[in-house]
Chains A and B, each alone.
Chain A
């Protein structure tokens, strides 16, 4: 074989290498929670199209979904996520605590405390609401059966518990003892504790268990739409909790992979008009007032409180309610 053959091969290899560097095909990994699957299936191509239109090259966003806390643990243990999109801020705070994967001021990096959308906790009841369930107090009535995912293993369940607690505090002039009594009565009516939100949905819709399912608005509306509006009604309680879904860049990873700019652009896209529109179409409440107004029919106005403004923040809630031996354990041990 002649020298010129090797030379040509060498040139070809170098050229292809140069091309691949020039084209800058970027990949991002978005590690997210369970029920955001359908949302990001729409967000990712829209973002990639925008990225390409801006002549920044080809970008692919890969997804990983699972229970929110489990996903956070995977990232802490070394799963190479460029961005994390969770349903409760403790799952991002843990990445700050464990080895500083995320910057401590992650809430200040993006608008609206880095949460592009919210959802509220609502009730799904059987068609025509035969048990007349309208408010939280109805869920605690004797003879009512309520399906809630396990607050110990599910963010969804934790929000339900906190919603019940927060509204009981409001109703009883911040009397914690009365609130505890109320929440204990409500959880006495729970016959099954599923591991996650989707499991609880299945138990309520497919297995025929329970008079009411307490879950996020996006999930409840989706069920009513997908499984049949002739079977279920969505009930908005007068007061409920607002759950913000926070996002963050995993700087440790993006620095090493050189994906910082792409990761920030991706997260910013969530707050853009186009991103907010996709979010609203998936029944998550958008932050952008204009988009919210456009989809106002989907999102009935409801009085809400948050963990931060009514319950003293997540660290406090974790310690006083969900730690081993704390209030949630106490009410389950009374049963």
Chain B
């Protein structure tokens, strides 16, 4: 094995530090989940994680998180686009507003959203008479997840858009591309890797979200119970092991989905580089 010296000094130190830090802060707590869950036999574990009510909660949590991340991807790009490409009065203010869902305690977000969408709230009193109930239904969960996930997409796409010079689009236009072709073949491929990262972050955040959802969800079994609530429910009944079993399933499912998204992202950024 030939020793290769990195140009940057301190490689060993940096790697060692990274591994120790990651282990202490992330890997060891996660390992504890699996160790605790392994107190169950496989049959018991399966019974806990495949109970109909728990399965229904996976569908609610993962399904709505994917939908929310998808919606955020579309509108997040539009928002980032508007912030980067146009200058209008109050742009700085709008830019700062985007980060608000990051900063707000999630419980506050949940209470505020519920107050607005309940049948006596500003929005609810318009929607409810036409037969569209948002608060205390899965729609309410979706609204909360969109709210908390928005900054992730905007903040990952924005720097790429800033780097993407207007000249590129002008060049495309002068080479005969129409607006649609420019967006489809020039702008979007360059944005795609960042967009996928934003999607993944928004999705991951939504899957784990508890505080804001719990107020607006209604928490009806089989309809609007999210998986984190199932974990809390088990903890409240002193069922540590059952709670960690469900948590372990969530972890594995989230990890698989994030891996898939990462592969997609690697693939798409490879395409961008080849295209250049």
Q: Which residue of A lies closest to B215 (CB)?
A: A199
- CB-contacts of B17-57 with A (<8 A): 48, 51-53
Q: Distance (Å) between the CB of B131 and the closest chain A CB?
A: 15
A329 to B239 alpha-carbon distance, docked (Å): 15
- Would you call A237 an interface residue if the criterion is a C-beta within 8 Å of the partner chain's C-beta atoms? no
The one of A94, A193, A199 in contact with B220, judged by C-beta atoms closer than 8 angstroms, is A193
The one of B118, B222, B233, B238 in contact with A333, judged by C-beta atoms closer than 8 angstroms, is B222
Q: Distance (Å) between the CB of A56 and the closest chain B CB?
A: 37
The one of B135, B229, B233, B238 in contact with A94, judged by C-beta atoms closer than 8 angstroms, is B238
Q: Distance (Å) between the CB of B73 and the closest chain A CB?
A: 31
- What total count of A-B pairs have CB within 8 Å? 70
- Would you call A150 an interface residue if the criterion is a C-beta within 8 Å of the partner chain's C-beta atoms? yes
CB pair A207 B219 closer than 8 Å: no
CB pair B238 A209 closer than 8 Å: no
CB pair B236 A70 closer than 8 Å: yes
Which residues in B have their C-beta under 8 angstroms from that of A332? 53, 221-222
- Would you call A45 an interface residue if the criterion is a C-beta within 8 Å of the partner chain's C-beta atoms? no
CB pair A192 B222 closer than 8 Å: no
CB pair B233 A192 closer than 8 Å: no
Number of interface residues of B (CB under 8 A): 29
- Would you call B120 an interface residue if the criterion is a C-beta within 8 Å of the partner chain's C-beta atoms? yes
Q: Which residue of A lies closest to B223 (CB)?
A: A335
- CB-contacts of B100-131 with A (<8 A): 111, 114-115, 118-121
Q: Which residue of B lies closest to A98 (CB)?
A: B238
A199 to B219 alpha-carbon distance, docked (Å): 12
A199 to B237 alpha-carbon distance, docked (Å): 19
- Would you call A142 an interface residue if the criterion is a C-beta within 8 Å of the partner chain's C-beta atoms? no
Which of B52, B233, B238 has the most chain A CB atoms closer than 10 A to its own CB?
A: B238
CB pair B218 A67 closer than 8 Å: no
Q: Distance (Å) between the CB of A98 and the closest chain B CB?
A: 8
CB pair B120 A69 closer than 8 Å: no
Q: Distance (Å) between the CB of B107 and the closest chain A CB?
A: 10
- Would you call B183 an interface residue if the criterion is a C-beta within 8 Å of the partner chain's C-beta atoms? no
Which residues in A have their C-beta under 8 angstroms from that of B119? 207-209
Q: Distance (Å) between the CB of A211 and the closest chain B CB?
A: 13
CB pair B233 A152 closer than 8 Å: yes
Q: Which residue of B lies closest to A331 (CB)?
A: B221
Which residues in B have their C-beta under 8 angstroms from that of A193? 218-221
CB pair A153 B135 closer than 8 Å: no
A206 to B114 alpha-carbon distance, docked (Å): 10
A-B residue pairs in contact (CB < 8 Å), sample of 26: A67-B236, A69-B235, A69-B237, A69-B238, A152-B237, A191-B218, A192-B136, A192-B220, A193-B221, A194-B219, A195-B232, A199-B215, A207-B115, A207-B118, A207-B120, A207-B135, A208-B120, A318-B237, A324-B48, A324-B51, A324-B242, A332-B53, A332-B222, A333-B221, A335-B220, A335-B222
**Contacts from A to B (Cβ < 8 Å):** 67, 69-70, 73, 94, 150, 152-153, 191-195, 199, 202, 206-209, 318, 322-325, 329, 332-333, 335
> 10 smallest A-B Cβ distances: which pairs?
A207-B118, A208-B120, A332-B221, A193-B219, A69-B236, A192-B218, A152-B233, A153-B236, A192-B136, A153-B233
